[in-house]
Amino acid sequence: MSETRDLGPEDDGAEEIRSIRASVAALCAEFPGEYWRAKDTERAYPAEFVAALTQAGYLAALIPEEFGGSGLGLRHAAAILEEIQKSGCNGAACHAQMYTMGTILRHGSAEQKAAWLPRIASGDLRLQAFGVTEPTSGTDTLSLRTTAERHGDHFIVNGQKVWTSRAEHSDLMLLLARTTPKDKVERRGEGLSVFIVDMREALGDGLTVRPIRAMINHAATEVFFDNLKVPAENLIGEVDKGFRYILDGMNAERVLIASECIGDARWFIQKAVDYAGGREVFGAPIGKNQGIQFPIAKAYAKTEAADLMVQKAASLFDDGHRIGPEANMAKLLAAEASWEAADMCLQTHGGFGFSEEYDVERKFRETRLYQVAPISTNLILSYIAEHVLGLPRSY
């Protein structure tokens, strides 16, 4: 399959990005399908893979150099994650270590940045748990029920989160909790605050983490807070303003997840091309049939188109623009492209698509997640309808 060409002469970061891609691909080659299959069967955490990425510095790509990271842009980070997925690996085990720190970077105090960012950059501290979703509120984040009440020099947290990924493999958690009751706030988006919870201290002392057995090996958990004490110095930014801080970080997250979807789509397309060229039925390669070729070609074209939106969103972000529409469209289009490619790849493989040995069924399950998380397709469409097209809010 031919590689995507650069955007043009103005694409000045292309050389550096190409070199990053090559290094990431070399690292990923050490973690072939057998490795991921075994982890999937055991529902085990890919600790060796995460350690290799950490050591190579990829997870600190977005942390500025003054705090020990590489100070790279979102385009670079997106290329890293795309390459991981394209190699058949799964960046979901640790992608949050790349971007969750953005809330501290953008809204934390000088002391908080100095205390946490260098240790996150080195990998000494893992900040890859992000507690937003709750069982009752779901997508309606402003209705979340976990509370944080101020008592002198600390807050007391009570409540529950669900689907908190990687909580068992993280030292810190970025937590969104209600600090002012919903009916007492002046503006709709106020009353929620963001905290850093040190889970190493809290486990067994107000914090309980329970794994959720799920369709994919994603280290998902539910988390319970029972009078958990969080020092007031762990509040990020101003009290009651946390929802805005979280929204700020979500655009970068959406672009990065979209780039993972592009990587997945490319993996499925390559896998299908290889199989269609080699599998002979009725005395000819199945790839000779247009019924097999066309879905592959269509998936390729849609992936390339979605990738343009991902690149646009990442470039605009790196140039300091607000990217709500582009980040949402990138996530929507890339997740659709990866899902269409997954379905096509499974169909191309016929019965063997269902066999664990080919990795198609595992990747098929894994990429399905991005229709739902971190934001579901319907909610993206609602965003575009309301905020881009000016249609009435539907909910």
Instruction: Enumerate binding residues for ligand FAD (CB under 6 A).
Output: 130-133, 138-139, 163-165, 214, 218, 220, 369, 372-376, 378-379, 382, 394-395
If 0-12 CB within 10 Å is exposed, 13-18 middle and 19+ buried, where does residue 318 land? Answer: middle
Helix, strand, coil percentages in the chain from 3-state DSSP, rounded to 5: 55, 15, 30
**Smallest separation (angstroms) from ligand FAD to the CB of 365:** 10
Q: Please say which residue, 27 or 375, places its beta carbon nearer to ligand FAD.
A: 375
**Smallest separation (angstroms) from ligand FAD to the CB of 249:** 12
**Which is the catalytic residue, given 82, 253, 260, 336?**
253
Q: Please say which residue, 21 or 218, places its beta carbon nearer to ligand FAD.
A: 218
3-state secondary structure of 244: helix
* Rounded Cα distance, 154 and 275, in Å: 59
**Smallest separation (angstroms) from ligand FAD to the CB of 92:** 8
Q: Which residue is nearest to ligand FAD (CB)?
A: 138
**Smallest separation (angstroms) from ligand FAD to the CB of 151:** 25
Give the closest residue to 260 by CA, choosing from 368, 100, 136. Answer: 368
**Smallest separation (angstroms) from ligand FAD to the CB of 20:** 26
386 is a catalytic site residue? no
Residues 6 or more apart whose Cβ sits within 8 Å of residue 256: 74, 77, 78, 81, 95, 98, 99
Residues 6 or more apart whose Cβ sits within 8 Å of residue 21: 79, 82, 83
174: part of which helix (H) or strand (E)?
A: strand 172-178
**Residue 99 Cα to chain centre, angstroms:** 8
Q: Please say which residue, 161 or 302, places its beta carbon nearer to ligand FAD.
A: 161
Alpha helices in the chain (DSSP H): 14-28, 33-42, 47-55, 74-86, 95-99, 102-107, 110-122, 199-202, 242-278, 290-318, 324-348, 360-368, 377-383
Q: Please say which residue, 158 or 376, places its beta carbon nearer to ligand FAD.
A: 376
**Smallest separation (angstroms) from ligand FAD to the CB of 308:** 25
Number of H helices and number of E strands within the chain? 13, 10
The answer, yes or no, to whether the previous bond of 374 is cis (omega within 30 of 0) is yes
Q: Please say which residue, 168 or 318, places its beta carbon nearer to ligand FAD.
A: 168
Q: Please say which residue, 165 or 193, places its beta carbon nearer to ligand FAD.
A: 165
The span from the first CA to the last CA of the chain, in angstroms, equals 44
Q: Catalytic residue numbers? A: 253
